[in-house]
Amino acid sequence: MENKSSYYSNALSKYISKQGDSYFTLDILHNDVLLEPYFYNRSKLFMSNVKGEFCNFLYMEPGEITVDNIQSLVGQTVLYQYPSKYSASYHLRFVRIIAVNKSTQMITLVNPASSTPHSTLEKMVSLRHNDTAYRIWMPVKLYTEKMVEMGEMVDLNEIEGSSQKNLQN
């Protein structure tokens, strides 16, 4: 699946392609929206002209962390949130979802800026049960295309299935 660059501005796409080891920091007490002063990046690569873009990011709710939903994001670049080992904050970095193992429910993530991708494995259960610490954020357009439309397809299938059962009775 191709990663559509139209989800991100040219300036943010440029940052993503050069992010290296830089990351964003999010205050642990103000973690439901990506706005200053609670959300910041000290990297010299980060340009202030893209800050407003982050207020349009949404995160996946625990009920949305399903194999099918994550599978629909394979190939996409998203903003991945995880706890900091050294401070009372969260770190966020752009990653590309490259695979989902259905049997182990593990997600394989890579840094899209790395020429030699070092993959990270994440348990889907961490995203579901530690939902304030571990999150997948994405632009509204990507969220709408993948989560909302996917949910509508599931709802239509459920409706059609129950209608057929009613007709048989």
Given this model, what pLDDT does residue 81 score? 94
Contacts of 92 (CB under 8 A, 6+ apart): 23, 24, 25, 26, 34, 39, 79, 80, 81, 82, 137
- Inter-CA distances, 95 with 103, 105, 168, Å: 22, 18, 48
CA 89 to chain centroid, in Å, comes to: 18
Q: Which pTM was predicted?
A: 0.82
Q: Which residues of the chain have pLDDT under 70?
A: 1-5, 115-117, 150-169
CA–CA separation, 79 vs 130, rounded Å?
16
Q: What are the tens digits of pLDDT across the range 17-53?
A: 888 878 899 998 888 889 888 898 888 777 777 888 8
